[in-house]
Structure 1
Amino acid sequence: MPNNHDESSLDLLSIFLAVLEAGGFRAAARRLGLSSSTVSERIVQLETQLGVPLLIRTTRSVTPTETGRTLAARISPLLAETRAALHDAASSQREVRGLLKINVTGAVMVDILPPIIDRFLQRHPEVRVEIMVDDRLVDIVAAGCDAGIRYGEHLAQDTIAVPIGPRQQRIAWAAAPSYLAARGAPQHPDDLLDHECIRLRFSSGALVAWQFERGDETVRVDPPGRLIVGVDGVSAAIGLACGGRGIIGTFENWLAPCLQSGELQPVLHDWWTEFEGPQLYFSSRFTSAPLRALIELVKEERIASVSSTRRGEHRN
């Protein structure tokens, strides 16, 4: 590959991976802070240098050629290792320095991750943090991220996961007193088919499933939903539920303020579903200094939380 080209090979390869991850030139350009034409030009430049096409372009999609797919699979871990090395170099001083980039589901952005990041920034003033909010199950390495936060995702063999936030969470259902006074409260999950329901939809297009558990019994219902809101608008959906527009099901911790104020009342409480809390996951091979600092903070808070719980149990 010639050495006198305008753009470094590393930059061109990073742009190539960004296009594959984003699924197109426009989305990659937004992520990279470049124009679509610039991204397209850089891909052409890389293909010219290599002498082979890497992408198949149509008016509706961009997909890799076989050569492009093979190249992406080989360079993704190499670029991740390079980023980790650069992060460590930036963090080699007494203070932890550099960029921490994490890919997270929107579910942790309401009340779990923000206070943790706030404490992390206070402790490490020389660190910059970029949070990519994405409800798709993306490859964190291919996305150029140090780590990800997900619920119950199947982890690759070389991936480590540590709990972040609550160990256990629940999906709860609730409705406004005015709605329940007018329509009555459902006694069984199947009764929801006769109620006005507020459903949430992932960015992938799939509706958030409504699954109920009580003892050994599991029931899944799929009410049509008079109102469907994207998960990014969950606060508005909760507000509409408080206004009497129907029954909503989502994270209990999201509904807790309205349940405590009386704006919402529990529905089908015996059927609320419990599940494992979120996990911070990352490659066991590439751990930057800022990421190690975040892991340390998360583990410290976990130990403090367990100790506090035990002291409370001892007093009782």
Structure 2
Amino acid sequence: MVLLSLIIRSISNSLFCMKNNVSPNDLQVFLTVLNEGGFRAAAKRLGIAPSKVSTTVSRIEKQLGVPLLLRTTRSLRATDQGHRLAERIQPLMTEMDAACFEAANSADHIQGYLRLNVPGAVVPDILPPLIAELQRRHPKVQVEIVVENSLVDIIAAGCDAGIRYGDSIQKDMISLPIGPRLQQIALAASPSYVKQHGLPRDPQELTDHRAIRYRLPDGMLIPWSLRRGDETANIVEFTTSLVLSANALNAGLNYVRAGLGIIGTFRNWLESDFRAGTLTPVLPDWWAELEGPRLYYPSRFTSSALRAFIDVCRSEATTV
């Protein structure tokens, strides 16, 4: 409670010294409008009428004597003054929220909302046991999973933490591994495809086969990078039978089972099919390894729900 009092006093001093004593509650409405991208979305998030949101922002602008938002019937964006104001007060508001969460939740009674931004690659098998364990320990924690394969600013996106692979994680974030430390990208085909077309004997022969490919949000088709010892092979030219969005990573399994071609995807997604004989490994000596996914989050202002999830990830890591 001493920590909470100090934070609130610091925030109050900062905010109430502003021209005309703008209310911290009004400023929170203003931030929500920016974070949610509009008055109606902010009203829904805050549980108040859109008209009240609009009136609140107008009141702040009148008190400060400067415009904060540029509005049209179709769009909304911050003015330079609004952008600078948001940059200054967002950390203060976030710190106050975190302090209130900490005061309201003891180690034995954690509750709240956890919003994770994750790639589709972790949704089918890596994330479910972690979320299940979190809610087994803390059943009052509500989790929302936002699936995006492109790199996003998790703070701007309104998320508490993200999951990504390797070098794509921003340097100013704290990160820790989740799931397998290493994953393989495996190639597979259905028995019916193999019966009709045979199996390639080396990576060069892949160009003669039909492939199921994935396209990234920037439009690039993902190449197949193969490795055997010191040898590497990057296959970029295929007879492509099907292209899928990277947002539908696990959907490709249904198409490869149907015999449309060879697929390159995570080995852990294919293991049950390999055991059942519904898919056949292709060039297993050439399957490349990559570092497994990592949970990342800002270095400060973690909520009790996020801290609980971090604890789950760390404890589960000992079993991998």
**TM-score normalised by the shorter chain: which range applies?**
0.7 to 0.9
CA shift, 1:216, in A, is 2.3
| Residue equivalent to 1:211 | 225
Contact 1:259 1:266 in 2 (8 A): yes
Does 2:304 align with 1:286?
Answer: no
Matched residues in 1 for 2:43 and 2:183: separation?
34
Percent identity between the two aligned chains:
43
Cα RMSD (Å): 3.5
Extract unaligned runs of 5+ from structure 2. Answer: 1-18
> TM-score with structure 2 length normalisation?
0.78
Alignment partner for residue 243 of structure 1, among 258, 262, 270?
258
Extract unaligned runs of 5+ from structure 1. Answer: 20-24, 306-316
Alignment partner for residue 177 of structure 1, among 151, 168, 191?
191
| Residue equivalent to 1:135 | 149
Q: Secondary structure at the match of 1:129?
A: strand
CA shift, 1:53, in A, is 5.4
Does 2:206 align with 1:188?
Answer: no
Does 2:113 align with 1:99?
Answer: yes
- Counterparts of 1:103-118 in structure 2, within 5 Å, are 103-118=117-132
Contact 1:17 1:76 in 2 (8 A): no
Contact 1:104 1:134 in 2 (8 A): yes
CA shift, 1:132, in A, is 1.6
Letter in 2 for 1:200: Y
Matched residues in 2 for 1:216 and 1:74: separation?
51
Q: Secondary structure at the match of 2:200?
A: coil
Letter in 2 for 1:229: L
Contact 2:119 2:148 in 1 (8 A): yes
Matched residues in 2 for 1:237 and 1:119: separation?
28
CA shift, 1:101, in A, is 1.9
Identify which range, 77-86 or 267-276, moves more after superposition. 77-86
> TM-score with structure 1 length normalisation?
0.79
Letter in 2 for 1:9: L
| Residue equivalent to 1:150 | 164
Matched residues in 2 for 1:14 and 1:157: separation?
26
- Counterparts of 1:1-316 in structure 2, within 5 Å, are 8-19=26-37, 32=45, 45=58, 48-49=61-62, 51-52=66-67, 54=69, 66-67=80-81, 69-92=83-106, 94-222=108-236, 223=238, 225-305=240-320
The number of aligned residues is: 298
Matched residues in 1 for 2:252 and 2:270: separation?
11
